[in-house]
């Protein structure tokens, strides 16, 4: 018996997505490859976990009612517009399980978060790739997306986009949503990273689910509260979308600790997120100026709290850049997993001023090493 002959054929060509945030495996290394709140979790987190742990002797609320109410109050929607998930990753998987059938077509920009296409391919969907416009800072190509819209069942948007950090104006996103609604197409909008952007309220479309039946958004507490070890996420959508997804949702998907901690963080500790967003916005200009001065990369764009940039040297790959920086106690994200030409790109996040000093010093030393190596090479040619 061959197991390969018994599994869904959609699974056979699929590989697991690759993600950053692996610096915890490396002792003494500062991990700039992830995009978490640089202040770390709120100091109150251990107490919240301990309070919740006193109630582990019973099943969690299968509806995550209190958590959903907190989310609804936060975004000015009804609890019936909210679905809870074990991190946004569970909801990313659930959406195509409910709405995407075999041979359905979905529009996904490239590069973007790899979990979208992975989840859709698991359902046998065909991915309509739409390259982002590099000359415009990797912005959405609206004309190309709308051109493919008649062929598709759903459109995916990530704002700010991961890995590029591009922040799209709210009016542009709403224009795409409205075009999709007129064409009876669904929109999956990922705002997981948005709360760490200063002034994010001017970009978010969360409250628009009250007026748009085709819209579904996701977010999580992972990035904004720096708690990737606790899987707490949510989706916000029209009541019809949320009701249908609720039918397929895994029972008890949010544990007692996740529900309690998630509720308390949203209700009582959003100031922790705002302070981080304000600090990173101030640090962004300094990092741009100093790292642009090294000429290691193409000019850094300044829209978000992490940077995605091309390595200038034709001799170096993203993997090479990671190897240059690791001895200097700095880990950046090798973006080669997004396919060519992104094997020449790296991503790194903004952290606290002290940690950013380490990043800047490592970049300046690396630039000097590369220039010295290039000079020696020319001398021997």
Per-domain residue ranges of the chain: 3-40+274-372, 45-270
* Fold entry, domain 45-270: 3.40.640
Residue 174's pLDDT is 97
307 phi and psi, to 5 degrees?
A: -120, 145
For residue 381, what pLDDT is reported? 44
Tokens in use for 56?
């582990």
Phi-psi region of 262 (alpha: psi -120 to 50; beta: other; left: phi over 0): alpha
Q: 260: closest CA among 35, 60, 33?
A: 60
pLDDT given at position 130: 96
Instruction: Provide the CATH topology of domain 3-40+274-372.
Output: 3.90.1150
Residue with tokens 């995605």, as numbered in its chain: 308
Q: What would the two tokens of residue 107 be? A: 């529009």
**Weakly modelled stretches of the chain, pLDDT under 50:** 375-381
**pTM score, whole prediction:** 0.94
Q: Do domains 3-40+274-372 and 45-270 have the same CATH topology?
A: no
Q: Determine the pLDDT at residue 376.
A: 42
- CA proximity to 352, closest of 260, 283, 288: 283
Residues contacting 323, CB < 8 A, separation 6+: none
């Amino acid at each position: 018996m061959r197991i390969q002959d018994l599994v869904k054929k959609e699974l056979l060509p699929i590989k697991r997505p690759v993600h950053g945030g692996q610096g915890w495996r490396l002792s003494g290394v500062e991990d700039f490859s992830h995009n978490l709140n640089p202040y770390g979790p709120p100091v109150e987190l251990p107490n919240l976990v301990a309070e919740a742990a006193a109630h582990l002797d019973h099943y969690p609320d299968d509806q995550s009612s209190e958590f959903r109410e907190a989310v609804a109050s936060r975004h000015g929607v009804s609890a019936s517009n909210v679905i809870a998930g074990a991190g946004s990753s569970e909801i990313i998987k659930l959406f195509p399980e409910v709405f995407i059938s075999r041979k359905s077509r979905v529009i996904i920009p490239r590069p973007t978060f790899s979990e979208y296409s992975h989840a859709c391919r698991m359902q046998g969907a065909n991915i309509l790739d739409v390259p982002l416009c590099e000359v415009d800072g990797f912005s959405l190509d609206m004309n190309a997306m709308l051109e493919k819209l008649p062929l598709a069942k759903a459109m995916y948007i990530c704002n700010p986009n991961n890995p590029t950090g591009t922040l799209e104006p709210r009016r542009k996103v709403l224009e795409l949503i409205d075009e999709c609604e007129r064409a009876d197409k669904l929109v999956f909008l990922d705002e997981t990273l948005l709360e760490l952007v200063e002034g994010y309220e001017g970009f978010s479309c969360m409250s628009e689910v009250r007026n748009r039946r085709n819209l579904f958004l996701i977010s999580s507490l992972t990035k904004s509260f720096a708690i990737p070890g606790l899987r707490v996420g949510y989706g916000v959508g029209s009541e019809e979308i949320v009701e249908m997804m609720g039918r397929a949702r895994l029972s008890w998907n949010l544990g007692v600790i996740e529900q309690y901690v998630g509720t308390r963080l949203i209700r009582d500790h959003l100031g922790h997120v705002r302070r981080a967003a304000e600090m990173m916005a101030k640090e962004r200009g300094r990092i741009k100026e100093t790292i642009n001065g090294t000429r290691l990369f193409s000019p850094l764009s300044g829209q978000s709290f992490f940077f995605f940039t091309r390595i200038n040297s034709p001799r170096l790959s993203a993997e090479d850049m990671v190897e240059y920086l690791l001895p200097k106690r700095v880990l950046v994200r090798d973006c080669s997993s997004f396919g060519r030409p992104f094997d020449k790109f790296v991503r790194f996040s903004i952290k606290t001023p002290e940690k950013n000093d380490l990043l800047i010093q490592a970049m300046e030393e690396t630039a000097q090493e590369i220039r010295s190596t290039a000079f020696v090479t020319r001398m021997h040619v």
